[in-house]
Each structure stands twice: as structure tokens, then as C-alpha cells.
Amino acid sequence: MRYLTIALTKGRLAKKTLKLFEKAGIEAKEAEDDSTRKLIFEDPDMKIRYFLAKGPDVPTYVAYGAADIGIVGEDTILEEGRNIYEVMDLGFGKCRMCICGPESAREYLASGDQIRVATKYPNIAKDYFLNKKHRTVEIIKLNGSIELAPIVGLSEVICDIVETGTTLRENGLTVLEEVCPLSARVVVNPISMKMENERISDFVRRMKEAL
Ligand code: PRP
């Protein structure tokens, strides 16, 4: 039997996913060891192998079929826009995509003035302003610490993830508008969905039971 390959998202989601794997009876001890430099892990009994990748790369592995299954945040799924199936909401990694800025930016949002939006998610931001707010904005792509942008005057607002709200609070920023709620999802390659339907359904069933 061929191995079923699963792409996991490195970082916060990985810890929760690996705990879930253990509960579901998938060997995860080796992957949970933070000091390991190993990239790929396997459970020979379950005929499952999995690896850790950067979030935005997970939909790529799944879309090309290099991974049958992926576990990744809804933010990344929306941003990457790959041809993959979303089959399950894992219910953890809960947060919100929001438009944030200083309280003073509220008037810019309400006015028709040209505004600059700094974000790690240019596609989500563009879609929100164009299709929901019916206005064009200037999108400035950044790769992290997005909250800096309105503080130093790179942009009026940001489009970013808010989880606890601590980062905003500690930097004098606030949520101005909510774009959408987010959480971790299980995604599947469309061909794997047909060819490995039984095993993928079994994997999803195990995940549901473990939750
Ligand atoms: C994310 C996000 C916010 C923060 C929100 O950044 O971009 O900055 O977490 O969490 P909070 O509401 O609980 O404070 P992350 O830590 O992933 O790093 P980054 O800034 O490098 O993107």
C-alpha cells in the first residue's frame, strides 16, 4: 500500500496538530521533538508520512499532489487560492482577519480617499476592499510585524490576523473592521480525493474522534 502524505503547517498549528495525531493513534513523538532537523516523519503501521512546511507552501504541496492532505489555516487557503478541497474545520487556531489601525484611521476608511493597506495577505485585502467595500486601495505587501506599518507611516491601516488582540493593544492600534473568522482546516488534493477516498475518509474520521 502506498503511503498517504500529509503536509502540516510549521509553528503554532504544528503543536496542536501533532497532539491531535497522537490522540488519533498516529506516531508523533519524533516530530514533537523541537531539536530535530528531520523534515519528514512516518508511521509505518498506518502507512502515513507527514512533513512540516511554511504555511503558504502547504496548499502548493497539496495542489500539485506532492501531499494528499494538508493542515493549514483558512487565511492561507484564501490567500493562496489553490485548487484544493476543504474537507474539515479542525476548530483550533481560531482567530479573525481584520482591518486594523489607530482610531484616527476610521475617518480614512469612511471617506473615499485613497488609502494604503499594509498586509501579508494582498489577495484577501484586495478582495475585501474591491468586492465588499467597492473601493480601490493601495496594497503594500509585507512579510511580518505588520502592526509597524501604521505606526511609522507606511500605511493608514493593515489587514492582518487578530488572535488575542495583545499585539494591537500593546501598539496603540485597534480593530476597525472584521473581514472574516478563521481556523485550521484539513484540505485534500482533488485527485487523491477520488483515488484514496476511503483512506482519506478514515483519516478525517480519526481526526474528528480525536477532537
Ligand atoms: C500574528 C499576526 C499578529 C499577531 C496577532 O503574527 O500577524 O501580529 O500574530 O496575535 P495577537 O492578537 O494574539 O496578538 P505572528 O506572531 O504570526 O508573526 P508575524 O508578525 O511575523 O507575522
CB-ligand 1 contact for 156 (6 Å cutoff) = no
Segment 7-56, tens digit of pLDDT? 999 999 999 999 999 999 999 999 999 899 999 999 999 999 999 999 99
Which residue's alpha carbon is nearest to atom 21 within ligand 1? 144
Show Cβ contacts of residue 22 under 8 Å, excluding neighbours closer than 6 positions: 28, 29, 32
CB of 173 within 6 A of ligand 1: the answer is no
For the segment 45-78, what is each residue's pLDDT rounded down to a tens digit?
Answer: 999 999 999 999 999 999 999 999 999 999 999 9
Expressed in angstroms and rounded, the spacing between residue 167 Cα and the centre of ligand 1 is: 7
Burial 172-202 (b: 16+ CB within 10 A, else e): ebbebbebeebebbbbbbeebbeebeebbee
The model's pLDDT over 113-154, given as tens digits with 9 standing for 90+, comes to 899 999 999 999 999 999 999 999 999 999 999 999 999 999
Ligand 1 in reach of 167 Cβ (< 6 A) = yes
- The verdict on the CB of residue 169 being under 6 Å from ligand 1 is no
- Does the beta carbon of 164 lie inside 6 Å of ligand 1? yes
Nearest atom (ligand 1) to Cα of 169: 14
146 Cα–ligand 1 center, Å: 8
- Ligand 1 near 163 CB (within 6 A): yes
Which pLDDT value is given to residue 93? 95
Q: How far is the CA of 164 from the centre of ligand 1 (A)?
A: 9
Amino acid at 15: K
C-beta 160 within 6 A of ligand 1: yes
Q: Are 70 and 62 in contact (CB under 8 A)?
A: yes
Terminal Cα-to-Cα distance of the chain (whole angstroms):
27
Question: Do residues 180 and 67 lie in contact, with contact meaning Cβ atoms separated by under 8 Å?
Answer: no
Contact at 8 Å (CB) between 22 and 84? Answer: no
179 band by pLDDT with thresholds 50, 70 and 90: very high
Quickly state the pLDDT bin for 112 (edges 50, 70, 90). confident
The C-alpha atoms of residue 179 and residue 93 are separated, in whole angstroms, by 17
Burial class (CB within 10 angstroms; exposed 0-12, middle 13-18, buried 19+) of 169: exposed
For residue 211, name the pLDDT band (cuts at 50, 70, 90).
very high
pTM for the model stands at: 0.95
Provide φ and ψ at 107, rounded to 5°: -70, -35
**Cα dihedral sign, 186-192-197-202:** negative
Q: How confident is the model over 79-103, as pLDDT tens digits? A: 999 999 999 999 999 999 999 999 9
